[in-house]
Structure 1
Amino acid sequence: MRPLSALIASTLLAATSAAALAHPVTVQSCNREVTFDTVPTRAVSNDINLTEMMLALGLGDHMVGYTGVSDWTALDPTLREQAAGLPQLSPSYPTKEVLLGADADFYFAGWNYGMNVGGEVTPDTLGEFGIAVYELTESCTHVMDKAEASMDDVYNDLLNLGRIFGVEDRAQALVEAYKAELAAFTATLPTAEAAPRVFVYDSGEDKPFTAGRYAIPNALIEAAGGVNIMEDVASSWVEVGWEPVIDRNPEVVVIVDYGDVTAEQKIAFMKEIPAFKDIPAVVNNRFVVLEYTEATPGPRNIEAIKRLAAAFFPS
């Protein structure tokens, strides 16, 4: 019998050889076609949800670190073991120097998820140094016209990462499992006639920061059987006035829990302002809290949909 170490080594070699045979591969990244001649071996991801996508595909051994994750313990417990040996290269958006210092060959980020339009870290500026960039699909609305956010955006990213890193079968299996789980769950939900009006409260007191039609919460709310009161706003995450929130009379408020202001403080703020006293969500204390990782594209979106549905249609 061959030693276990030899079996593992041969399996890894076979996997590496299979990945090499599959390359070059070309994927669509927003409005760009990006070709990968080889599998990246020194990848960096920005933000916790993008990092969880990489780890859900078992790509920790292809990474040299991650950025924009201020709290390592916020990573899904089932994925922390993969991340244990990876350094946080920057607690916020990385500079070019950070990525070059890590000798990165791949950067998984998005617009407003590690890159800013016109900023110093973009596909063009990094391309000059041989760092390939794959952009989060949900964020593409900042650089091109696209359809409203949907779970297909998340599936697309997982499948493209699978192709880029030579683990296409693994990615396909994960996506099919997510689709089956979601289909089985949504089949149990009430009809659309019962859809509650929902407002996403991310942050802000003078003006709220919320989710328009191009932000993933719009898709999560729809999948859970609700209607985002800002679905007609042709934007992703966006600042609006309180007046349209009051006028649209939400029956449920989704609180995004992250940052210095706690979910409890955001709920207290809405309960204490006289202008909100007649909003049904406030009157009936119908608040549902989503963690940042649940309210942004990533592996936790299915569980977020289930939590939303439980709040929309309490038994």
Structure 2
Amino acid sequence: MIPEKLRALGLAVTLGLSLILTACTIPIPSTEDIPSATGAAPRSELRDVPGIVDPDNTGWPRTVEGLNGTTDIEALPERIITASVGHDEMTVALVPLERLVAVGASSKDPTYSNVAGLLAEKPEISRDPETIIAQDPDIIVTSPYFPAEGVEALERVAIPVVQTALAHDAEARLNNILLLGYIFGEEERAVEFAAEVQQRHDKLVTVTGAKDVRPSVLALSRYSDQIWVAGDGSTEGSIIEAAGGVNAAATAGIAGHQTISLEGVIVMAPELIMITQPLAYGAEEFRQDLLNAAALAEVPAINRDRVHIVDSKLFTTLSYWNIRGAEELARILWPDDFPNPPAEGFSQAH
């Protein structure tokens, strides 16, 4: 379908030429005055992506709809800030690194971030609007958890802010990539990268999805002497399912992240337990406490010594790196099907 602005431009040019031929000297408008004509050809992959208001408009300005409403983006963003680990992980795959001008402390911390090594030299910001404004960004793309008063402060100084919710299911993950690519003016790279991520996911679930008997898996962590479990709708739960397991907490009716007792672990009787907290925050101590707890001796995962510490940042982030978590868990669950380590990372924008 031809965008309305391009249709109007064609009509203007046709009428202008007709008038010239009849000795009239009305000037023909320049195509430079029509922003949508300066973009690349529309991509069919952008259709039906939530947040893209007009997928046919690949020029500037363009409009997107985030959780905080519609936002007009006047020109290609050259100075990007997200203030969100998951968004930073997505951004470095879509734009040249120099366009991401500053990041939060967590994005530079290898405990939490899968791209910390790429961001080590970036200036550090907090969610204080003053620290962000000091970096002179021309767009902020961030999570729903960015404070509303901070969004208002940034918008008062004419910095566009787009809040998007990153999600862990396969279709939403691809839509996240395509939406961010559109916001950044990197549609072609986004389509290319979405295909790469889809291929990794499909390669995994082609094997795990064919399993008739699936082991029950429980994702646990312990903070402040409270045991937390990841239930239905959690990132960890989606990883368990992609890896070919059954989320024991979801089966027990638990939604989201909830605290449980040792009795709850006994009732759920998982065949495998994965500990998703960082080693630096007591993962090994928690593992030993579970294995040594007399009350848990008959739990299958305990008496078979199937309690595994996993790389926390692959299981708790919200980005395409969750696929790496599913690949690692699949190697634990199905070692004969996945004898070799998967690729460590993903391609980057250049």
TM-score (norm 2): 0.69
Counterpart in 2 of 1:136? Answer: 165
Indicate yes or no: 2:304 matched with 1:304.
no
- Cα-to-partner distance string for 1:122-152 (whole Å, 9 max, x where unaligned): x4454334331332323xxxxxxxxxx4122
Amino-acid identity (%): 23
Counterpart in 2 of 1:101? Answer: 134
SS at match of 2:81: strand
Counterpart in 1 of 2:249? Answer: 230
Distance 1:21 1:303 in 2: 32
Could you say what the CA RMSD is over the residues aligned between the two structures, in angstroms? 2.9
User: In the alignment, which of 290, 308, 314 is matched to residue 270 of structure 1?
Assistant: 290
Distance 1:213 1:65, change over 3 A: same
Distance 1:279 1:129, change over 3 A: farther
Indicate yes or no: 2:87 matched with 1:66.
no
Contact 1:47 1:68 in 2 (8 A): no
SS at match of 1:46: coil
SS at match of 1:200: strand
Indicate yes or no: 2:125 matched with 1:89.
yes
Taking the TM superposition and a 5 Å limit, the aligned residue runs for 1:56-205 are: 56-69=93-106, 71-73=108-110, 76=114, 80-81=117-118, 83-90=119-126, 94-112=127-145, 115=146, 120-121=149-150, 123-131=151-159, 132-138=161-167, 149-189=168-208, 191-204=210-223
Question: How many residues get paired?
Answer: 277
Alignment-mate amino acid for residue 136 of structure 1: A
Alignment-mate amino acid for residue 67 of structure 1: G
Distance 1:309 1:61, change over 3 A: same
- Any gaps of 5 or more consecutive residues in structure 1? 1-16, 139-148
Contact 1:286 1:311 in 2 (8 A): no
Distance 2:105 2:120 in 1: 16
Query: Which 4+ residue blocks in structure 1 deviate beyond 4 angstroms?
Result: 17-21, 70-77
Q: CA deviation at 1:264?
A: 1.5
Contact 2:208 2:242 in 1 (8 A): no
Indicate yes or no: 2:265 matched with 1:245.
yes
Distance 1:31 1:65 in 2: 22
Q: Going by fraction, where is strand more abundant, 1 or 2?
A: 1
Q: CA deviation at 1:175?
A: 0.9
- Cα-to-partner distance string for 1:180-217 (whole Å, 9 max, x where unaligned): 22212221236453111111113336432232333222
Q: CA deviation at 1:61?
A: 2.1
TM-score (norm 1): 0.76
Distance 1:180 1:250, change over 3 A: same
Alignment-mate amino acid for residue 137 of structure 1: L
Distance 1:31 1:46, change over 3 A: closer
SS at match of 1:97: helix
Distance 2:209 2:175 in 1: 28
User: In the alignment, which of 190, 207, 226 is matched to residue 226 of structure 2?
Assistant: 207
Distance 2:280 2:117 in 1: 24
Distance 1:312 1:201 in 2: 17
User: In the alignment, which of 285, 289, 296 is matched to residue 309 of structure 2?
Assistant: 289
Distance 2:303 2:320 in 1: 33
Alignment-mate amino acid for residue 165 of structure 2: L
Alignment-mate amino acid for residue 60 of structure 1: L
Q: CA deviation at 1:108?
A: 3.3
